[in-house]
Amino acid sequence: MRAATAPDEIGRMDRSAALAHLRANACLAAIPAGALDAFAGIAQCQRLARGELLVARGSPAPGVALVLKGAIHASSFSDEGHEFAVSMLEFDGLWGLAATLDGGGMLRDNRALQAAEILLLPREPFMEIIDREPDLYRYFVGVLCRRIRTAHAIMDELALCALQQRLPRLLSALTANAAPGERGVPVSQTQEALAALLGVSRHAVNRELKQLEARGLLSLGYGEIRVRDCAGLKALW
């Protein structure tokens, strides 16, 4: 990983382009048009190189962000150096919401898993907008409540479901919005990243991937994974 540095590029985003991105996000689409336009007016575009630190554990959130390209990797490390990865994005594509609202520090290091581009709503002007429109607090509380429910579902899955179910489900989630090509749908994450997300060893992930390949559900190549049968993969959940 690269050392902690400032993001490669930060600049104001075109208002119309920002508004289009905000409307396209399922989590924000129901926000009143006036508030959404106000958010578009403060939007910044931020680009990070692979491995770039966006914000360190314990640091204040720079604001609320949408990941437009690439992936943000949130993880913690044990004293022995073992990594626990929470997500490649965040549950619903909206990053940094809780830490922005409460002003507390980030719970984990957040880095660009690969070259990434984000739409950032800086914390101070973001909070000014929702202070002017208090109904937005109720809206974002609903978002956070859904995340709590999702987190509990994930904990149940970790405790009760075998890797043979969890890996196909993760692969399906990671390729849900990808366009299939002639050779299948590419999975952008590496086997190491999948293992970190699932809380298992790379060897265990590789073993399961080879079994899925033998069933014709995906193909493995040097540094790549491609899903060939999305329906078949979902049937294993």
Sequential DSSP letters for 194-225: HHHHHTS-HHHHHHHHHHHHHTTSEEEETTEE
> Is residue 227 a contact partner of residue 187, using CB atoms and an 8 Å limit?
yes
Query: What CATH number is associated with residue 34?
Result: 2.60.120.10
> Is residue 96 a contact partner of residue 143, using CB atoms and an 8 Å limit?
no
Tell which residue, 115, 108, 1, has the closest CA to residue 48: 115
Together in a domain, 226 and 209 = yes
Last residue of a domain, one of 113, 143, 158: 158
As given in the structure block, the two tokens for residue 217 are 């559900």
Q: What is the dihedral of CA 21, 25, 47, 188, to 10 degrees?
A: -130
Together in a domain, 102 and 179 = no
Tell which residue, 148, 146, 147, 170, has the closest CA to residue 158: 170
Together in a domain, 123 and 176 = no
CB count within 10 Å of CB 221 equals 9
- Backbone phi, then psi, for 144, in 5-degree steps? -65, -35
Together in a domain, 42 and 71 = yes
What's the rounded Cα separation, in Å, for the pair 18 and 232? 37
What pLDDT is attached to residue 208? 97
Per-residue pLDDT tens digits for 71-127: 787 877 766 666 666 554 444 578 899 999 999 999 888 888 778 899 999 999 999
Domain count of the fold of the chain: 2
Per-residue pLDDT tens digits for 170-190: 888 778 766 677 778 888 788
What is the span of the domain harbouring residue 102?
Answer: 9-158
pTM of the model: 0.71
What pLDDT is attached to residue 86? 59
Together in a domain, 107 and 215 = no
